[in-house]
Structure formats: C-alpha cells, structure tokens
C-alpha cells in the first residue's frame, strides 16, 4: 500500500499549480482541436484537398462493393482445413496457398523464412498421486456434430516454451496467479516454494503467470480455464453455444514477451539461418519451470482434494465445490518432455507497388494457429484476403496506388510474435524510412461488436472509416453500433471507472491503447511505426482450443460471414485513406491532449516531493509538445485547400510519419531495453494490456525514486524530440504554403 505524503504542503504547491495551469492551457487547446476537427469534417476527408474528395469517395465506394461474405467463408474453410501450428509443414502449406492467392490478385508476393527456436511436445504426463491416484491431462474429446474435432493430427494441448521437467509435490491454488494473488497468499501465511501451483486463466498473460511462479520458486505450474471466466457461467457451452465446455483446453505460449518478443535466442536481431544465437540457458525470455494447461474437469479433481483454509470469495470459481488454498494432503506428479529445435517460420509478404514507392502502408495478420484457428487468426486472414482482392480489382480497373501497399501474413505469432518481430528486426531501418502506418487484425471476427486499439494519432482515422461502412446487424454505420455498444459497456462499470472511461472517450467510440499480444508489437513498441489493431468481437469461449474451428464460426461466431466482409471493407477504407491522402491523417493535437492527461495524472499519483520534482520536466515537455502540435495543425490547415504535388508533400508526410519514432527512447525501458516506446507498452506484470507511460508508472507503483528519475528524464526528452519533429512539419508546411501562394 502506498503511504500518504507527510511532506509540508507548500513543498508540493509548485507542481500542483503547474498542473492547474497546464489544464487551463490544454482546455483551450482541446477547444481549438475540436473546432479544427469540425472544420475538417465540413470540408470532406481529413488529409484530402476538397477537390480530391469526390474521387476518393468514389474509389472507396468501389472498393466496399467488392468484399463478399461467401468468398470470405470459402477462404476460412480453406484456411481451417487442417491443423497448422507454426513450425510444421502444414503452416508452410498455408503460407504457400496465401502466396498464390495474393499473386492471383496482382500482388508481387514472396515467402520470407526465418529459423526460430521452437519446441514441440514429446511427452505430457499429469496425475494426482495423493490422496487418490488418477491420471489427468485428459485430451479434448471429439464432438459428434463437429468432424474436425476428431482429427488425429491435433497436437496434444501444451504450453509452448515450457521447459522439459518433472516434479512431484503438494498443490497450492493461486487464483489467477498474478502479483496481487501472491500478496494474498503471503498474508495468509502460505509458502509456495517447492509446490506445484494451480492457476486459472484470465486477468493477465499466461507468461506473466509462469514468470511469477518461477520467481516464487514453485516446482511447476498448471493452468486451467474456469467456467466462471469463459464457460457455463457466461452462457451455453460448445457445441450448444459459443462458450468453453468443461473439456476445453486453452493452449498458449508462456515465453516472456513482456521482456522481449520474437525468437528467444536472437533478441534485437533477425533469426536468419546463420544468426548468432544465445545459449538457451542464457535467454532471458525463456521460462525455467514446467508449465502445462488442463481442462476444468481435471482441475476439479485437483481442487476437490486440496486442504487448507477456504480461499476468499473473489477466488471462488464456478466448479461445484469450495476452493481451498491447499496444500493439505494433495500431491500431483508432472512430467513434460519437450523437443526443442530450430524450426522454420514462413512469412508471406505481398506488395502492390505505388507511384510513390518510398512510402509504405502496411497491413498484417498472422496465419499460424494452435489448431484450426477459425477465429484466431483465420477470421482476420479471410477478411484480409477479401481486402486484397478488392484492391487488386481496383488496379485492374485502372487505379494506381499512390503509395506502396504491403499485405503481410506472419508465421509464429502464437509462440511469441516471432514472424513479425524477426521481419521488423531485419528491416528496421527501411521500415523507419518508409512505413506510413501498420494496420493489424488478428482475431478478426467472433461476433458483431467492433473494437479497436491504436496510437492516439490514428484513433480518428478508425472512427472516420467506420462511419463509411454499414453494420450488417443494425443497418446503420459500424461507427454508430460501435459507439452505442461502447457506451453501454461503460455504463456497466463501477462509478469511478465509468466516469473515467466516459471522460477519456469524450463521447466518441472508445479506442484503446495498444500494448502487446499481437503482431503490431514490434512495429509500435520497437520501431515506432504508428499502428492500429481492429476486429469484431462477441461471445468466444473456444480461444486456443481444438474447438476454434469452422463449425464454431459457422454456428456461433459469424454464421453468414457478414462481419468478415465488413472487416475487409473497413481495412480497405483505412488503407485507401492512408494511401491516397495528400497529407497523412495523423492527429497529433489529440495525441498531445491524451499525453497531457496522462502526465498530470502521474504527478498527482506521486506521494514524495522528490518524485514530483522528477516529473516536472515531463510536464514542461508536454506543454511544449502541445504547442508544437497545435502549430503544425494550423500550418497543415493552410495548405489543405488545394492539391499539392506529391513531391512537395513527401517531406511533410515523412516528417509526420516519423513523429512516433521521435518518441522512442534509444536505450529502452529500464530492465526491458527491447521496448523503446516510453508512452505505451505492455505491463511487466500484465504482459498484454497496455500501460501508459510505463517506465514512470511502474516506478511510481514500486516506490522506486531513482528509476522514476531516469524514466521521467527519458520521457521529457521524448516529448522534446517529438516537439522538434512537429516544428519541422510546421516549417515544411509553411514553405509549401508560400510556394502554393507563389504559383
């Protein structure tokens, strides 16, 4: 628990006054930004000269008429025709099929191969030995109605990157196995050292659960899905509904992507065949204790034999028993034998070359799956194929892209974002020189509810694109359905959380921050490429199980594949706006406003004078950044009335796209140097969810004043670099305006 400050009030007054003054400045700034946005809306499409808007709208309408639900369904049926885990020949076959599809659409397409350290299971043994003897690790049974669930080539459920190992020990139930749960156990006087831990999935990345178990010197970790979280408590279970049956198992990687993603033996460098590699014993991202997943039925056997005190009410799941801490007389034997080898991963890279080949718009999705992967990731893959087909049809009709469009399908995402990370590490300098933005989709469709995450400068691009696309269920726009659902979800939150969420979105449809957990991570967190992640969601309990297959999608996720086609239209609309814009549609005023809220919030959280003083330079930095963003926006407005020659806008657009890179901290976050972005990153103890201002936030949470000082200084320098880049945008735009006036 953080202590309240005991320092004299007058020592805290300067920072508090600065926060108040900044709030006044930014209020005026926000009003100006709002007026500018209204003005942009009145004139048509952000980033387009009014004279070019009719042609752009016509082009977008042509594109949105092409994606077809039936074709998307056919794509998904082909993609889910066999299990295709990364590192297998089946994954190679999917990559070859994707390559051929893109070539048929008119894209220049190749397969790029990396060589990654990947395990496959040889032996998985779990049995309870006391007070009863029973073999566990029960496989998912076939479902009569779903023939794909009976395929003999389904790999037994395992946690990728678990080491081989064997342990026999008493069991302790650790709830979700997250940091606060260990505090509860310690307060209850329970020592987990040398024990086998049982944790339920949820509340954080499974790799964080494994790392915490390792840090607490557990002998092994067993993970299971409780029906309270994604099973019968939520609704009907598969095959009668979309939720996880008691027999369903969530596979998943436990590699420590919160330290760095990608091949564990080549951090920061591409995993080519001849790359210099770490010894596995020295790889920081590799777990050290055996970890395995089981179904809820097997977990019930273990939980039913635990002793000790009853766990707190918030630790109780939905299995028919009282959950106890353990250990009691229970004892479990775990044995895992893993086959680690260098195995190939196959990225598919397709290019549609534009008239300005030095500017790239990149779309991406992964193609490897734990089993069939109908939702994760096949729905996104099927939709992207329809986007690509639509773009190809436009080219056949005479359209020539202004910028080069790359469409990428990554392999090895499920083990640890491997394919995308290695590609970014191999092409980092070129990407930073040419990439405009990266648009990601992963679990593209599990229901009708649109959701998005993005760097703040691209949030309005998503909102604007969804205003143009019809929602299949409501007949209105996707944006209207998205906003209505988002506000309804906020109304279900507790009071303070609801007020915060509504205030953050300012009445607009909510766009989340991006952390990690999908292939945008290397682009955004490491290379500073502005990034977006979008998809449609709904009731989805078969995540990473053998039941995430075509049958599930056809009966529950998107039976008519209408939302697959809708996702293709949104991706295509966003791609065209980025591709065809005179001036790239980045909103850095909105970005600065969001950062102002975050920076002042962190100052309010500080309970020590020295911490407040450490953060004051960041407050000064965000003030300068806000002014620079406002000046750049006004300068860009001045050149927006008439189309400019692309040669004149190229340096402006390059500077706009590189503002995100200017934020990057070359030395990275403390303890996690691969992560270069100081504004948003996955949390050390969340693994997927974004933490805003992560270095500062986590240092404050730990009460670590020396690290806070270092991270706050890095943050202030980051703001200054971005402000300087925006000042460059202003100068370039002013020069273009003078040239325009002289014509």
The residues annotated with a catalytic role in the active site are 413
Q: How many CA atoms lie within 13 A of 171 on its CB side?
A: 30
What gap in Å lies between CA 478 and CA 563, rounded to an integer?
10
705-742 vs 646-657: helix crossing angle, rounded to 10:
170
Give Cβ neighbours of residue 129 (< 8 Å, ≥ 6 apart). Answer: 168, 331, 332, 333
What token pair was written down for 122? 């040889």
What token pair was written down for 367? 């193609």
- Determine if residue 506 is left, alpha or beta; phi over 0 gives left, psi from -120 to 50 gives alpha, anything else beta: left
What is the C-alpha radius of gyration for the chain, rounded to an integer number of angstroms? 26
Longest dimension (CA), the chain: 89
Nearest to 435 by CA among 364, 362, 501, 525: 362
- Determine if residue 73 is left, alpha or beta; phi over 0 gives left, psi from -120 to 50 gives alpha, anything else beta: alpha
Backbone angles phi, psi at 178, to 5 degrees: -100, 175
Nearest to 693 by CA among 559, 594, 573: 594
How far CA 40 is from CA of 28, 48, 144, 279, 508, in Å, comes to: 18, 9, 56, 55, 16
Give Cβ neighbours of residue 442 (< 8 Å, ≥ 6 apart). Answer: 365, 366, 376, 377, 380, 413, 518, 519, 533, 535
What gap in Å lies between CA 109 and CA 349, rounded to an integer?
6
Q: Which of the 8 DSSP states describes residue 669? A: B
Backbone angles phi, psi at 563, to 5 degrees: -75, -20
């Amino acid at each position: 628990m953080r202590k309240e400050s005991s320092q004299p009030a007058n020592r805290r007054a300067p920072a508090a006054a600065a926060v108040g003054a900044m709030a006044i400045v930014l209020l005026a700034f926000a009003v100006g930004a709002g007026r500018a946005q209204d003005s942009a809306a009145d004139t048509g499409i952000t980033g387009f000269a009014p004279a070019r808007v009719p042609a752009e709208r016509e082009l977008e309408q042509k594109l949105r008429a092409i994606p077809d639900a039936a074709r998307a369904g056919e794509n998904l049926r082909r993609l889910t025709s066999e299990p295709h885990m990364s590192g297998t020949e089946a994954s190679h076959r999917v990559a070859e099929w994707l390559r051929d599809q893109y070539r048929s659409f008119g894209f220049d397409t190749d397969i790029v191969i990396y060589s990654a350290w990947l395990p496959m299971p040889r032996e998985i043994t779990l049995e309870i030995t006391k007070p009863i003897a029973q073999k566990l690790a029960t496989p998912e049974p076939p479902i009569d109605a779903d023939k794909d669930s009976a395929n003999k080539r389904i790999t037994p459920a395992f946690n990728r990157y678990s080491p081989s190992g064997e342990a026999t020990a008493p069991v302790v139930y650790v709830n979700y196995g997250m940091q606060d749960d260990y505090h509860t156990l310690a307060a209850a006087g329970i020592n987990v050292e040398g024990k086998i831990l049982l944790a339920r999935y949820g509340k954080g990345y499974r790799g964080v659960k494994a790392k915490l178990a390792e840090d607490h010197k557990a002998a092994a970790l067993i993970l299971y899905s409780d029906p309270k979280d994604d099973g019968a408590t939520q609704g009907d279970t598969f095959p009668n509904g979309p939720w996880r049956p008691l027999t369903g198992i969530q596979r998943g990687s436990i590699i420590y992507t919160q330290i760095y993603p990608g091949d564990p033996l080549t951090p920061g460098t591409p995993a080519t065949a001849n790359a210099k590699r770490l010894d596995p014993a020295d790889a920081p991202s590799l777990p050290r204790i055996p970890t395995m997943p089981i179904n809820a039925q097997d977990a019930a056997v273990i939980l039913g034999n635990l002793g000790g005190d009853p766990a707190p009410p918030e630790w109780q799941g939905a299995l028919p028993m009282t959950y106890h801490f353990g250990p009691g007389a229970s004892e479990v034997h775990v044995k895992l034998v893993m086959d680690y080898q260098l195995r190939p991963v196959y990225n598919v890279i397709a290019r549609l070359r534009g008239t300005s080949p030095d500017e790239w718009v990149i779309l991406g999705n992964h193609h490897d799956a734990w089993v069939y992967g109908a939702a994760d990731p096949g729905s996104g893959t099927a939709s992207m194929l329809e986007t690509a087909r639509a773009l190809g049809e436009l080219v056949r009709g005479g359209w020539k892209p202004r910028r080069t469009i790359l469409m990428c399908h990554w392999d090895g995402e499920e083990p640890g974002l491997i394919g995308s990370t290695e590609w970014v590490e191999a092409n980092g300098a070129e990407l930073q020189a040419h990439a405009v933005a990266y648009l990601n989709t992963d679990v593209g469709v599990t229901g009708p509810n649109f959701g998005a995450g993005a760097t703040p400068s691209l949030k309005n691009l998503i909102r604007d694109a969804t205003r143009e696309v019809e929602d299949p269920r409501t007949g209105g726009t996707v944006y209207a359905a998205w906003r209505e659902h988002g506000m309804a979800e906020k109304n279900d939150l507790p009071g303070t959380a609801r007020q915060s969420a509504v205030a953050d979105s300012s009445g607009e449809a909510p766009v989340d921050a991006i952390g990690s957990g999908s292939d945008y991570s290397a682009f955004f967190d490491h290379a500073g490429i502005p990034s977006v992640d979008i998809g449609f969601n709904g009731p989805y309990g078969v995540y990473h199980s053998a039941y995430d297959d075509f049958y599930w999608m056809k009966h529950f996720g998107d039976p008519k594949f209408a939302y697959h086609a809708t996702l293709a239209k949104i991706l295509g609309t966003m791609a065209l706006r980025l591709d065809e814009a005179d001036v790239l549609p980045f909103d850095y005023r909105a970005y600065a406003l969001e950062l102002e809220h975050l920076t002042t919030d962190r100052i309010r959280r500080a309970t020590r004078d020295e911490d407040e003083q450490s953060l004051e330079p960041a407050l000064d930095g965000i003030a300068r950044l806000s002014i620079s963003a406002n000046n750049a926006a006004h300068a860009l407005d001045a050149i927006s009335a008439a189309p400019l020659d692309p040669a004149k806008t190229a340096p402006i657009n390059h500077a706009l796209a590189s503002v995100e890179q200017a934020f990057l901290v070359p030395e990275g976050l403390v303890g996690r140097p691969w992560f270069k972005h100081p504004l948003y990153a996955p949390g050390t103890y969340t693994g997927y969810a974004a933490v805003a201002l992560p270095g500062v936030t986590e240092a404050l949470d730990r009460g670590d004043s020396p690290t806070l000082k270092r991270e706050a200084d890095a943050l202030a320098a980051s703001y200054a670099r971005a402000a300087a880049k925006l000042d460059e945008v202003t100068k370039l735009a002013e020069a273009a305006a003078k040239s325009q006036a002289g014509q």
